[in-house]
Structure 1
Amino acid sequence: MTVTEIVPVDKRRSKVILDDDFTLVLYRGELRRFSIEEGSEITRDVYEEIIREILCKRARERVLFLLKSSDKTEQELRRKLKEGYYPQEAIDYAIDFLKNHRFINDEDYARRYVEFNSRRKSERQIRFELQRKGLDKETVGDILKEQPVDEAAIIRDYIRKKRLCPKQMDAREKSKVMASLGRKGFSYEAVSRVLGEIFVDD
């Protein structure tokens, strides 16, 4: 492996770009320790030592730090590590470490997420957000069956907080309410039921 370029990331770290399209981020002292400079060769043994002794451990510490602030899914953690230029071997090691020690479990995360958000978000919005976080459609669907979202209660709460009176609203005001709730993922039918009437297009 040939070092084609070394690009500073900040005052202490640099990106080491290799000819086979690998990128490593190392500290200045690590560059000196392994005699890494532009145009130099990195043997397979040295590359594996860097991965094993430095980057795997650093990736593990990074994900543990990320989990201190808030729960995250496997996909979110993988994305964070990838953004930090960790190689795939280090990413896989860090995620396997978390799984083996039961620090992450996407299904448990999804259950907590649904429990926390089911009183303020629509089912559609919850589905979208969990799938964006890496949960598959089937798992999300099963969890929502276990913990259904009471959309009517959320819509009533919205109307109450906005101090709206459906009986006194004209068509324009009702349309605005429906559009606002529709942007939050609530269906036309669900909003119509709560407002007390179904609007049918001519």
Structure 2
Amino acid sequence: MKITGIEKYKGSTYKVEFEQQEPCYLNIEIINKFNLKAGIDLPLSAWEQVKEESDFRRARERALYLLDYKDYSYVDMFKKLRQNYDEELCYRVMQKLVDLGVINDRRYAQGLARHYMEVKLFGRRRAFQEMRLKGLTKEVIDLALEEYEQGTGERLRRLIEKKHLRYMTDEKGINRAKNSLIRYGYDYGDIKEALREIQIDSEDE
């Protein structure tokens, strides 16, 4: 594959033209890495390597762009990349992201745990389920939630006072609150205890 010309296209992207081939567009980083110049006749194997490196760079930059807006678990980012790139390339990019420290499941899990437990006031069961949906392993989730093993009752009381207390004027309102709190991931025993502590009679009459 003979290169007949290389010219700037836009930004850091250059148009590479070939003899009897469609042109392609490469970042200057790739052009410099492989020392591509007009007049060079590349073997097909060398050109495949150039394309692979170009795809790797695009996938890496795509991942870094996404990470500018929010954190991702290893699994979620892999799935995102896999939509456009082959599996082997995705694994290579993911290893680079791990090496850079921008993908770190333990740090990501700690942030999620803080959000679900301190902001959303979820019970452990609901927080665990949500974190699993983010692609985190049981071991990583358990470690992140470990610091929230104490304080369940306090979080539950805060949630009741914030969202339910004003509606709990009769048995119907109390039962609705119980069902909602169960969906939030709290155990029924903890719910009854919290209701008792804020002097709401939760016993069925």
Tell me if TM exceeds 0.5. Answer: yes
Query: What's 1:103 paired with?
Result: 102
Query: What's 2:22 paired with?
Result: 32
State the distance in 2 between where 1:47 and 1:190 align: 64
Closer, same or farther: CA 33–199 of 1 in aligned 2, 3 Å: farther
Question: What does 1:54-93 correspond to in 2, within 5 Å?
Answer: 54-83=54-83, 85-93=84-92
Q: Is the 8 A contact 1:156 1:194 kept in 2?
A: yes
Closer, same or farther: CA 47–174 of 1 in aligned 2, 3 Å: farther
1:131 aligns with 2:132: yes
Question: What does 1:14-33 correspond to in 2, within 5 Å?
Answer: 32-33=22-23
State the distance in 1 between where 2:148 and 2:189 align: 21
Q: Is the 8 A contact 2:116 2:127 kept in 1?
A: yes
By how many angstroms is 1:59 displaced? 0.4
Q: Is the 8 A contact 1:51 1:89 kept in 2?
A: no
By how many angstroms is 1:116 displaced? 3.0
* TM-score where L is the length of structure 1: 0.69
Closer, same or farther: CA 163–87 of 1 in aligned 2, 3 Å: closer
State the distance in 2 between where 1:193 and 1:141 align: 25
Query: What's 1:164 paired with?
Result: 165
State the distance in 2 between where 1:66 and 1:187 align: 37
State the distance in 2 between where 1:128 and 1:44 align: 49
By how many angstroms is 1:33 displaced? 3.3
Amino acid at match of 1:77: M
Q: Is the 8 A contact 1:51 1:90 kept in 2?
A: no
Query: What's 1:174 paired with?
Result: 174
RMSD (Å) for aligned C-alpha atoms? 3.1
State the distance in 2 between where 1:44 and 1:198 align: 76
Closer, same or farther: CA 180–100 of 1 in aligned 2, 3 Å: same
State the distance in 2 between where 1:126 and 1:51 align: 42
Greater Cα radius of gyration, structure 1 or 2? 2
Closer, same or farther: CA 163–56 of 1 in aligned 2, 3 Å: closer
Closer, same or farther: CA 158–146 of 1 in aligned 2, 3 Å: closer
By how many angstroms is 1:177 displaced? 0.4
Once the two structures are superposed, residues 13-45 of structure 1 have per-residue CA deviations (whole angstroms, 9 ceiling, x without a partner) of xxxxxxxxxxxxxxxx999237xxxxxxxx983
Q: Structure 1: which 5+ residue stretches go unaligned?
A: 1-28, 35-42
Aligned pairs, number: 164
Q: Is the 8 A contact 1:56 1:89 kept in 2?
A: no
Amino acid at match of 1:74: Y
Q: Is the 8 A contact 1:121 1:184 kept in 2?
A: yes
Q: Is the 8 A contact 2:73 2:104 kept in 1?
A: yes
Q: Is the 8 A contact 2:63 2:77 kept in 1?
A: yes
* TM-score where L is the length of structure 2: 0.68
1:189 aligns with 2:179: no
